[in-house]
């Protein structure tokens, strides 16, 4: 178990091989996940009275204005299909993200649960970045992506 405070959390993540940097001005931990030859900024912070840990990873792409609606549809579909939904976007900042919350029980975070969520975040990034980027950059539309997925599923039936 790790105490639900930013210093102990940073120490735990560093001990697991993550370069966890404390951002004192925002009271968050910043970790760069290096996946798919890209860098995914991951922010962790204790919420409320220390009863929740928020983990938020940003996809390394900026959303084009013309792709906002299609990306919103894609993220909504992914949230509907995933066991642990958490996709979102900030239209103003033009970024897409995946966020999850972990409860802290009696002021502590279970290490196994934290490790599981760290692994899940990495898997989410590796699995869905190609689709998120393609739609965010307007390289494909949501409907075209669905058509490709249907064709792919038809070939494997």
pLDDT tens digits, residue range 118-142?
Answer: 999 999 999 999 999 999 999 999 9
Which has the closest alpha carbon to 46: 1, 90, 17, 3? 3
pLDDT reported for residue 152: 75
The model's confidence at residue 153, banded by pLDDT at 50, 70 and 90, is: confident
Angle of helix 142-155 relative to helix 111-136, nearest 10 degrees, comes to 110
Contact yes or no for 87/95 (Cβ under 8 A): no
**CA–CA distance from 9 to each of 24, 31, 61, 144 (Å)?**
14, 12, 28, 42
Q: What is the mean pLDDT of residues 100-105?
A: 94
pLDDT at 157 exceeding the cut of 60: no
**pLDDT, tens only, 12-70:** 999 999 999 999 899 999 999 999 999 999 999 999 888 999 999 999 999 999 999 99
Our measurement of the distance from residue 97's CA atom to the centroid of its chain's CA atoms, rounded to an integer in Å, reads 5
pTM for the model: 0.91
Q: Which domains does the chain have, with CATH numbers?
A: 2-155 (3.30.1460.70)
Contact yes or no for 135/150 (Cβ under 8 A): no
Angstrom distance (rounded) from CA 120 to CA 127: 10
Average pLDDT, the chain: 93
């Amino acid at each position: 178990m790790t105490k639900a405070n930013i210093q102990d959390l940073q120490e735990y993540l560093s001990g697991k091989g993550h370069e966890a940097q404390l951002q004192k001005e925002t009271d968050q931990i910043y970790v760069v996940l290096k996946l798919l030859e890209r860098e995914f900024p991951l922010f962790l912070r204790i919420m409320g009275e220390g009863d929740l840990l928020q983990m938020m990873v940003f996809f390394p792409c900026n959303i084009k204005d013309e792709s906002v609606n299609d990306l919103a549809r894609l993220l909504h579909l992914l949230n509907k299909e995933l066991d642990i939904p958490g996709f979102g976007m900030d239209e103003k900042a033009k970024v897409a993200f995946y966020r999850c919350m972990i409860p802290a029980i009696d002021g502590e975070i279970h290490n196994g649960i934290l490790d599981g969520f760290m692994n899940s975040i990495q898997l989410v990034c590796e699995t869905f970045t190609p689709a998120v980027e393609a739609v965010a950059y307007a390289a494909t539309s949501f409907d075209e992506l669905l058509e490709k997925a249907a064709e792919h599923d038809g070939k494997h039936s």
